[in-house]
Structure 1
């Protein structure tokens, strides 16, 4: 690597290494880190100020950047590093970030343990692979104990089938027993934390900490690879968000196979968290992700074995993450399955299903559009202002009458329509005489100036009732 700026600042101590491609990494970087970046966030002059400024405020040790995708290091990046006094190292195109990571981790391990032994070296070699499971297998061999990485209660990877026995709450009794395990944080700049769980034994605590640190590096590397891969799907996500383009061309670039489902996650916290939560519930599914504002999209292959209970299972996963990820609310809508021609419609279905989930008032909601009645999807998709206008125009007189007279004709009309306009069935549900029911419906018709026995009118009133 070649030093491009900061020749007088190279004495800074490096405490960790971190890879990021976020335009603003301020939430994730910390003092003493060597930051690696492929500059995927850089698009035009001026972009570097935000990124490098965040590094300077955090007190990072240095930035090592590759200009392979930008034709060399942009002058914008070099000048920003000079202004903010950040040492800048240029990474040659033929030098892998994995090699840099290995050297840094090895040096840190040497400083901590006086000399990295064979176990440390073997763990580092295992971390060079692409699989967290591969790293855990080597870790279990070195420690002489089974290992798992968990996200909430979800097993990300493990050396034995299923979750650690007794560690995850029993669904029937709710009991857990963690006394037989050591729990170490898998550190990294993620909103959803992972944990390394190792069965208790006489193994070296330092080696277990090393395994947890390498697991964090494998996770960060996998996320970087995924984000790079997701870039090819950006035209498709722009199309799903309402932009133009050829759906067939945009979809072909993703390499996914039809049919697919479209997922939309929304949280008031931020889109990056929504994207991370989508990634957690999708696990190893073949999918592509993107975030936009406080929302995130996913396009997921549906090979025909998509479980009908997936929404409830996803909601359970999100519930276990709520306490550790610190989010306030999250709603997920699911559209599809569809082929290429139905992609835009599936994205609208997903959006309206997320609206339905949000209107239920729960903190966490996962709703499939296929499980929602059509009229509810239509109402959920209407803007709030339009919903209020429809409610006031159709039901306004009856709402005012109930408020003034202390009656409940709105509820009577709702039950009447929910029972297909049958006076007998509605009277039974309301526990009143059928003649009383008929009188109330006649009175409500007069107040509204509508014939509530007319089918098109019933449809209008029923939709308006679902805006209340």
Structure 2
């Protein structure tokens, strides 16, 4: 034991230590103050506190130990040593020489000998109905611990245990209060998030912006997957599920066919909050579907009115156009898109996504099997790149074999009926003409665009073929080249020598072929009208003739 100290000095140390115990803010501070007070009360060189658990006593804190890290992992079985006796009896236990005591635990004996500690005492720290902890004091001198010292230590331990529990209760209450405040703050933040999300949805900001708001608030990446994102994976369940791999959580969006709201990252929010957002997303998708269906109906009606409306009908179009956000004061090119098959609703949706990704203000509908796009053109630059955009869209829609016909730019409602016919005519020229092209502008057809208003491609092709039918049959039957000879002869203004050189034949051969053509067609090429109509039929055959060669 340390050197004799006056009773007054020891009493002062004890009071100071007790004051520190009472003033301690945390449970750990109570234990440290209790160890200091215990050393002063028992005139001990060291003290340590061990908590009782199911498998025995475990070190909590020590004071005066020269190697505290060695004792940090100390463990005493519940039925061994002085601590085991304290747990069994509920009273104090002591020994003047721990190394010679039969209750000594070999490992604890080694640790105390390494510290030079000899005598030891242990007192219970009792809870409501059992011993919660054990307070140990040890000294380097060999001496018995007096009963008065044990009673004082037991009282100190009991008070420290009660104060420790109160400090722990205060800590738990403070933690509960912090948790409550965090929950309130989270609820407030999520309420603001839901309001901001709803306002963004109603203002037309788009789901991407709304999900970005949620991701910023939760500290995670939020995505909509399924019909509005990537295609849903086969076998996706229709109930919520969470996946721990990569911190991914998925929630079904109500009112959709297998769409999911996916969170990636350690999101600082609960599942219920995400389900509320998923419900908001579902309502917004339903609103967009209803708006889209209304827009489709109104746009269909509008385009049909533009196609075949009377003057009275055209005067009412301005009001209808505003209902679908279509400002007829904005110049728009009429574009016809189609192929060998009718454009169905699924293909129209695909076209709509491709078109609106390039020009959000475009309107689409179907009419008589083809898709029609009213493409805003606000300047010469946009008009120039229109064909490039359409060529890319047609390519992106493969394997559908589509073509596009670009009609004129309309600036008044009265311009649309003629523009629609010309756009369809250009489409038919590209899809069915011998010069196969994915995109054809009616402007590139020159004067042939006039034929858009006199029966269409099929009627023109039939008329051209009927005029040239005898020559076509002869070429097919005999393998001759009469049609090409006739066209070259007329284009060379009936100059025989020049025509023969172009065809790489003798002039006599050319004259023979021309005579045969005149007999087959029963025409006189000296007649200007006959030459005009034959050349017109040849040109129409080139522009609108069928690629099957009929």
With structure 1 as the length reference, what TM-score do the two structures score? 0.51
Secondary structure in 2 aligned to 1:263? strand
Equivalent residue for 2:346?
273
Retained in 2: the 8 A contact 1:150–1:197? no
Distance 1:450 1:366 in 2: 37
- Does the C-alpha gap of structure 1 residues 151 and 422 become closer, same or farther in structure 2, counting only changes over 3 Å? farther
Distance 2:492 2:330 in 1: 40
Offset, 1:303: 1.7
Equivalent residue for 1:302?
377
Q: Does 1:291 align with 2:366?
A: yes
Retained in 2: the 8 A contact 1:274–1:330? no
Q: Does 1:131 align with 2:186?
A: no
Distance 1:307 1:197 in 2: 41
Q: Does 1:459 align with 2:536?
A: yes
Retained in 2: the 8 A contact 1:333–1:354? yes
Aligned residue among 440, 446, 450 for 2:519: 446
Equivalent residue for 1:368?
441
Offset, 1:337: 0.8
Offset, 1:356: 1.7
- Does the C-alpha gap of structure 1 residues 221 and 449 become closer, same or farther in structure 2, counting only changes over 3 Å? same
1:327-354, Cα deviation, whole Å (9 max, x unpaired): x443432222123232211011111122
Structure label with greater radius of gyration: 2
Aligned residues: 320
Retained in 2: the 8 A contact 1:277–1:318? no
Equivalent residue for 1:402?
475
Distance 1:196 1:377 in 2: 54
Offset, 1:449: 1.9
Offset, 1:388: 6.1
Retained in 1: the 8 A contact 2:351–2:393? no
Retained in 2: the 8 A contact 1:265–1:278? no
- Does the C-alpha gap of structure 1 residues 382 and 320 become closer, same or farther in structure 2, counting only changes over 3 Å? same
Secondary structure in 2 aligned to 1:306? helix
Q: Does 1:332 align with 2:407?
A: no
Equivalent residue for 1:318?
394
Distance 2:454 2:484 in 1: 24
1:249-308, Cα deviation, whole Å (9 max, x unpaired): 143221411432223333635442354244234314424333345333333432224232
| Stretches of structure 1 lacking an aligned partner (at least 5 in a row) | 1-114, 153-184
- Does the C-alpha gap of structure 1 residues 435 and 350 become closer, same or farther in structure 2, counting only changes over 3 Å? same
Secondary structure in 1 aligned to 2:480? coil
Equivalent residue for 1:225?
291
Secondary structure in 2 aligned to 1:309? helix
- Does the C-alpha gap of structure 1 residues 380 and 459 become closer, same or farther in structure 2, counting only changes over 3 Å? same
1:185-226, Cα deviation, whole Å (9 max, x unpaired): 999989xxx99999x97779x999999998787566445324
Q: How does 1:56-455 map to 2 (within 5 A)?
A: 118=190, 125=198, 127=201, 129-132=203-206, 133-138=208-213, 141=216, 142=218, 221-229=287-295, 231-232=297-298, 236-246=302-312, 248-253=314-319, 254-255=321-322, 256=327, 257-266=329-338, 268-283=341-356, 284-304=359-379, 305-322=381-398, 328-340=400-412, 341-360=414-433, 365-375=438-448, 378=451, 382=455, 386-387=459-460, 389-417=462-490, 427=500, 429-432=502-505, 436-437=509-510, 439-452=512-525, 454=528, 455=531
- Does the C-alpha gap of structure 1 residues 303 and 212 become closer, same or farther in structure 2, counting only changes over 3 Å? farther
| Stretches of structure 2 lacking an aligned partner (at least 5 in a row) | 1-186, 229-251
- Does the C-alpha gap of structure 1 residues 276 and 462 become closer, same or farther in structure 2, counting only changes over 3 Å? same
Distance 2:523 2:260 in 1: 62
Equivalent residue for 1:165?
none
User: How large is the RMSD of aligned CA atoms in angstroms?
Assistant: 5.3
- Does the C-alpha gap of structure 1 residues 420 and 131 become closer, same or farther in structure 2, counting only changes over 3 Å? farther
With structure 2 as the length reference, what TM-score do the two structures score? 0.45
Offset, 1:359: 0.9
Offset, 1:420: 6.6
User: Which structure exhibits the higher relative contact order, with contacts defined as CA atoms closer than 8 Å and separated by 6 or more residues?
Assistant: 1
Retained in 1: the 8 A contact 2:488–2:499? yes
Distance 1:203 1:368 in 2: 53
Specify which structure has the higher proportion of helix: 2
